[in-house]
Structure 1
Amino acid sequence: MPVYHRPDDSRPTRPAPSRPKAPLWRKLLSFVGVPVLFFAITAGVIYLAAAPTVGPYVGLAKYLFSKEETSQPTNLYEGLANSIENATSVPFSQLVYPSKGDQYGQITIEGTSVDAPLYYGDSTRELNRGVATYADSVGAGIPGESRTVLLAGHNNTFFNGLQDVQEGSLIHIDTHYGSYMYRVTEMKVADYQDATTYDFTRTDENLILYTCYPFDALGFTPQRYFVYAEYVSGPMIDKSK
């Protein structure tokens, strides 16, 4: 029977090849770059999550404490409100029609805390400064145009007082061309995408106010609180003159 011999373990063995040392830039990337990248990503996520909540407050603070004259909108209302407040009609040729960003009035609602400047346009800039007027449809207008006047305000600032509105409450809007009064007829909660909440085909003077709902909500909410009001008094804009 053949005899098998084990391999001779006494033979010298080759040393294992050594791994090359990592370059210095890789070490720096591991100890510095990765934490910095992680911090940047985390900060970005926190900003995106918090922006809808703190945005209105930051914008309002900038408006209140800013000293830059160029950041202030044109104030058509200041010093002009009493000049034609008793007029029954306003010739369109004599009307200084507001541009986006202009303050052209003041809105107050009896029995509530609503008392805010009224701006033309409804961008973030106008909403952070007061009550904003929707201006991106030919069917939407300003008081006196015999159209739908659609006004928006933040639920946690200028329009927080809408929660105290009652049917029959009187809404006063003083503009640089006349004073208007509306009476509340209805309040309701609806989805922000519900297009039936307003009608830009109407040719009669009507007012709609809306804000985010619930009133104590922070950031984006899918619901809106609507207040509808009928025209009571105020000069009508005569576009034939």
Structure 2
Amino acid sequence: MKPLRILVAMILFAGASLTARAMYLDAKANLAGVLIHRAWAKTAKTGAPQAPWPWADTHPVARLRIPRIGYDEIVLEGATPRTLAFGPARLFSGANLGEPGNVELAGHRTSWFRPLEALDAGDQIEVQWFDTRRHELRERTYTVNDIRIVSPEEVTSLAPRSDNALTLITCYPFGPSPRSPQRFLVLASPAGPSRSAETSRLANRAQL
């Protein structure tokens, strides 16, 4: 009986360890989310880049919203593997927020960009950022023109552009599948010029 008791104790200990680790990772992710939102709130007020924690090598640069599917996340700068663990991020190969060109945002298919599988052509995507030239928070609404599933080598959609555009990128298929041999692209164009976020907020309140 003694070997059996030892085996049972070892199984219970392993289970408790895995549960504790899962709880720790969940708490860590929740805390990171709170700190990232706080950093974005400061950036939205002052325009100065705010690291979410002292040793972070990234900072919030935008807020990404898709009203129809209830999506609302903070975008971080630099889509490195470390940064993508904490949220969607801007690819350095794309245009900067508020500048002419194709703004490229990436996110994991199992978390931050998993909701993109519910997108349809014609959906509205809202991007908010701080314009350092105008010293104000601005936003632009994009309309989804096309949704494509392509191979990793097919990068024509990510070529530099002179006109304004938005591309959302994630791996495919969605979910916990161990393999993701394809890429899911959401291609969108501006529904109009950028506008002051404060003006937009007041206009929305007036319509209520």
TM-score range relative to shorter protein: 0.5 to 0.7
Q: Which amino acid aligns with 2:165?
A: N
CA distance in 2, matches of 1:199, 1:97: 28
Larger Rg: 1
Residue number among 229, 233, 236 corresponding to 2:188 in the alignment: 229
Which aligned pairs between 1:53-202 and structure 2 lie closer than 5 A? Answer: 61=26, 63-64=28-29, 77-81=40-44, 101-135=58-92, 137=93, 140-177=94-131, 178-200=138-160, 202=161
CA distance in 2, matches of 1:235, 1:96: 20
Percent sequence identity over matched residues? 24
Q: Which amino acid aligns with 1:182?
A: Y
Task: Quote how far apart the aligned CAs of 1:82 are.
Answer: 6.0
Q: Which structure's residues are more often helix, by fraction?
A: 2
CA distance in 2, matches of 1:189, 1:208: 13
Q: Which amino acid aligns with 2:42?
A: G
Residue number among 209, 212, 226 corresponding to 2:171 in the alignment: 212
- Name the SS for the 1:126 alignment partner: helix
Q: Which amino acid aligns with 1:79?
A: K
CA distance in 2, matches of 1:219, 1:64: 22
CA distance in 2, matches of 1:161, 1:65: 19
Higher relative contact order (CA 8 A, sep 6+): 1
CA distance in 1, matches of 2:125, 2:30: 29
CA distance in 2, matches of 1:168, 1:82: 31
User: Gaps spanning 5+ residues in structure 2: where?
Assistant: 1-21, 52-56, 132-137, 197-208
Task: Quote how far apart the aligned CAs of 1:114 are.
Answer: 2.6
Moved more, 155-164 or 172-181: 172-181
CA distance in 1, matches of 2:166, 2:174: 20
- Name the SS for the 2:156 alignment partner: helix
User: Gaps spanning 5+ residues in structure 1: where?
Assistant: 1-56, 84-94, 237-241
Q: Which amino acid aligns with 1:78?
A: A
Pairwise CA RMSD: 3.1
- Name the SS for the 1:229 alignment partner: strand
8 Å CA contact 1:63, 1:129 repeated in 2: no
TM-score w.r.t. length of structure 1: 0.57
CA distance in 2, matches of 1:231, 1:97: 25
8 Å CA contact 1:130, 1:153 repeated in 2: yes
State the aligned residue count: 161
Shift in CA distance, 167/75, structure 1 to aligned 2, threshold 3 Å: same
Q: C-alpha deviations, 1:54-78, integer Å up to 9, x for none?
A: xxx99x74742668xxxx7797631
- Name the SS for the 1:125 alignment partner: helix
Q: Which amino acid aligns with 1:147?
A: G
TM-score w.r.t. length of structure 2: 0.66
CA distance in 2, matches of 1:115, 1:74: 11
Q: C-alpha deviations, 1:198-237, integer Å up to 9, x for none?
A: 111x11110000111111243441101110000123159x
Shift in CA distance, 166/61, structure 1 to aligned 2, threshold 3 Å: same
Q: Which amino acid aligns with 1:227?
A: V
Q: Which amino acid aligns with 1:181?
A: T
